[in-house]
C-alpha cells in the first residue's frame, strides 16, 4: 500500500500529530481476529475496568469513548442539571476548542474566569457562586478544570484538593479534563490514585495525545453518577460497536506504566527545549514548563521563518507568542533542529 505522507516528517504543533506507539499498535493487532462481544461487553473492556479500579480505586468505573470532546460533554452532562452552569477558565478547551458542541449538544452554559496561567483558584469559584439561589442568574453547579491546562501548567494535588473542597462547600461537582493527565502526573510524580483521592467526581483519561491511536476513557469516581453514564454515552454517540479496540489500547497503555514512560519522555523534551532557549536574546518564556508544551514569545521575523521549517501554532498573534508541543516520539535530534533554527534566525533580521 502506498504511504501518502513523509514518514520522516515531524512537528511541534500538537501531540495529536504523532503516530501510535508500537506496543499500542501490537495491542490493536492482538485484539483483532475472530469475534468478540460488541458494545463494551468484551473481555478487553472488562479487563480495562479492572485496571481502572486498580489505578484509581475500587469505586472507579471505566467508560471508554472515541474522543475528548465526547468525554467532556458526557461528563458535564452527567454533572450539570438543566438549570446549571459550568465554571471554567477562558483558556478552557470546552470554551475555545470544541466549537458549539457544549452548548449545542448538551445545552451547557459556561461561566468563564480569566486567569494568567490557565488555572482556576478557590477564590475564582467563590466569586462566581455569589448568585447561587438567584432565579435570574445561571446557577453554577459544576467546576471544570484541565490537568494539564491548555497553557501546559499543572495543578498540584493540594490545589486540586482545595478546589474540590471549595466546590463542595457550594454544592458543586468537579470534573477534570485529563486529555494530558498522564503528562501532569509524570510532572508531579504522582499516581492516578492520588488524583482520585482529591475527591473529584469524574475525570477523563486521555490516551490519544500519549501514544494511542484514538480513545479517551471517562473514569467515574463518584458512584452517584455511575448509573446514568451508560445511557449518556449512547445518547452522545460515543458507544463504539467494536469497543474492544479502544479498550485494548488502554489495557496496554496502563500495563507496566507505559503511560508514564511516554509522558515523561514528552515532558523531558519540553524541558530540554526550554533549557536551551530560555536565555537566548529576545525570547520570553510566558508559562512555566510543567508538561510537554513550551509557550514563548519570539521576534516576528523568527516566527515567520520557523513556519517555513516546522508546523507549530501561533498562540497570540498580537504578542508573537507560540506554542511548541512535544510528543511521546519527539527525539532530541528533532528538538535540536528546532533550536538550531531559532538560534540562526535570531542572528538575522
pLDDT given at position 2: 84
pLDDT given at position 93: 96
The grid coordinates listed for 57 are 480505586
Q: Are 105 and 67 in contact (CB under 8 A)?
A: no
The grid coordinates listed for 169 are 462547600
Collapsed DSSP state (helix, strand, coil) of residue 249:
helix
Among 256, 282, 310, the domain boundary falls at 256
pLDDT given at position 1: 74
Nearest to 43 by CA among 253, 250, 214, 244: 244
Beta pairing, strands 321-325 & 313-316:
antiparallel
Is the domain of 77 the same as that of 224?
Answer: yes
Domain annotation covers residue 121: yes
Angstrom distance (rounded) from CA 61 to CA 203: 11
The grid coordinates listed for 125 are 469559584
Beta-carbon contacts of 65 under 8 Å, excluding residues fewer than 6 positions away, are: 71, 74, 215, 216, 217, 218, 233, 238, 239, 246
Is the domain of 207 the same as that of 263?
Answer: no
The pLDDT tens digits of the residues spanning 248-291 come to 999 999 999 999 999 999 999 999 999 999 999 999 999 999 99
Is the domain of 181 the same as that of 303?
Answer: no
Is the domain of 211 the same as that of 289?
Answer: no
Domain annotation covers residue 14: no
Is the domain of 111 the same as that of 216?
Answer: yes
pLDDT given at position 5: 87
Is the domain of 150 the same as that of 240?
Answer: yes
pLDDT given at position 204: 98
279: DSSP letter: T
Is the domain of 237 the same as that of 308?
Answer: no
Asked if residue 148 has a cis previous peptide bond (ω within 30° of 0), the answer is yes
Beta pairing, strands 216-220 & 313-316:
unpaired
DSSP assignment of 156-174: -HHHHHHHHHHHHHTT-EE
Could you tell me the residue range of the domain that residue 223 belongs to? 22-256
Query: Could you tell me the CATH number of the domain that includes residue 207?
Result: 3.40.640.10
Q: Which ranges of the chain have pLDDT less than 50? A: none
Is the domain of 222 the same as that of 286?
Answer: no
Among 237, 256, 275, the domain boundary falls at 256
Beta-carbon contacts of 296 under 8 Å, excluding residues fewer than 6 positions away, are: 277, 283, 284, 285, 286, 321, 322, 324
Is the domain of 252 the same as that of 290?
Answer: no
Q: Are 262 and 182 in contact (CB under 8 A)?
A: yes
pLDDT given at position 8: 86
Is the domain of 182 the same as that of 308?
Answer: no
pLDDT given at position 303: 96
The pLDDT tens digits of the residues spanning 219-231 come to 999 999 999 999 9
Q: Are 220 and 56 in contact (CB under 8 A)?
A: no
Collapsed DSSP state (helix, strand, coil) of residue 204:
strand
Is the domain of 192 the same as that of 322?
Answer: no
Q: Look up cell 474566569; give the residue.
A: 113
Domain annotation covers residue 7: no
pLDDT given at position 151: 97
Domain annotation covers residue 6: no
pLDDT given at position 254: 98
Among 210, 231, 256, the domain boundary falls at 256
pLDDT given at position 170: 98
pLDDT given at position 274: 98
Domain annotation covers residue 216: yes
C-alpha angle 342-260-297 in degrees, rounded to nearest 5: 25
Is the domain of 71 the same as that of 201?
Answer: yes
The pLDDT tens digits of the residues spanning 137-176 come to 999 999 999 999 999 999 999 999 999 999 999 999 999 9
- Rg (C-alpha) for the chain, rounded Å, is 21
pLDDT given at position 7: 86
Q: How many domains does the chain have?
A: 2
Using a pLDDT cut of 90, give the percent of the chain over it. 96
Domain annotation covers residue 17: no
Q: Look up cell 486529555; give the residue.
A: 179
Query: Could you tell me the CATH number of the domain that includes residue 332?
Result: 3.90.1150.10
pLDDT given at position 108: 95
Domain annotation covers residue 181: yes
Average pLDDT over the chain, rounded to an integer: 96
Domain annotation covers residue 209: yes
Amino acid at each position: 500500500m502506498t504511504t501518502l505522507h513523509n514518514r520522516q516528517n515531524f512537528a511541534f504543533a500538537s501531540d495529536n500529530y504523532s503516530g501510535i506507539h508500537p506496543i499500542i499498535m501490537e495491542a490493536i493487532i492482538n485484539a483483532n481476529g475472530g469475534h468478540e462481544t460488541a458494545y463494551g461487553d468484551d473481555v478487553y473492556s472488562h479487563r480495562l475496568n479492572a485496571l481502572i479500579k486498580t489505578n484509581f480505586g475500587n469505586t472507579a468505573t471505566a467508560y471508554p469513548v472515541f474522543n475528548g470532546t465526547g468525554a467532556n460533554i458526557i461528563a458535564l452532562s452527567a454533572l450539570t442539571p438543566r438549570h446549571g452552569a459550568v465554571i471554567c477558565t477562558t483558556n478552557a478547551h470546552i470554551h475555545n476548542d470544541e466549537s458549539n458542541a457544549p452548548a449545542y449538544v448538551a445545552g451547557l452554559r459556561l461561566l468563564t474566569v480569566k486567569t494568567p496561567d490557565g488555572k482556576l483558584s478557590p477564590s475564582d469559584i467563590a466569586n462566581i457562586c455569589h448568585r447561587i439561589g438567584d432565579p435570574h442568574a445561571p446557577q453554577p453547579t459544576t467546576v471544570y478544570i484541565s490537568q494539564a491546562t491548555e497553557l501546559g501548567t499543572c495543578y498540584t494535588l493540594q490545589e486540586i484538593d482545595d478546589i474540590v473542597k471549595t466546590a463542595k462547600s457550594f454544592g458543586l461537582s468537579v470534573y477534570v479534563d485529563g486529555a494530558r493527565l498522564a503528562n501532569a502526573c509524570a510532572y508531579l510524580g504522582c499516581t492516578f490514585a492520588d488524583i482520585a483521592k482529591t475527591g473529584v467526581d469524574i475525570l477523563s483519561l486521555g490516551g490519544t495525545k500519549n501514544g494511542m491511536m484514538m480513545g479517551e476513557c471517562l473514569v467515574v469516581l463518584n458512584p452517584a453518577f455511575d448509573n446514568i453514564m451508560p445511557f449518556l454515552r449512547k445518547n452522545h454517540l460515543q458507544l463504539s460497536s467494536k469497543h474492544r479496540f479502544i479498550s485494548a489500547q488502554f489495557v496496554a497503555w496502563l500495563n507496566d506504566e507505559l503511560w508514564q514512560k511516554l509522558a515523561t519522555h514528552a515532558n523531558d523534551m519540553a524541558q530540554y527545549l526550554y533549557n536551551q532557549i530560555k536565555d537566548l536574546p529576545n525570547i520570553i518564556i510566558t508559562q512555566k514548563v510543567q508538561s510537554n508544551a513550551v509557550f514563548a514569545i519570539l521576534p516576528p521575523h523568527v516566527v515567520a521563518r520557523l513556519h517555513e521549517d516546522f508546523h507549530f501554532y501561533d498562540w497570540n498573534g498580537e504578542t508573537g507568542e507560540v506554542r511548541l508541543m512535544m510528543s511521546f516520539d519527539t527525539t532530541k535530534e528533532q528538538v535540536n533542529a528546532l533550536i538550531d533554527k531559532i538560534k540562526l534566525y535570531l542572528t538575522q533580521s
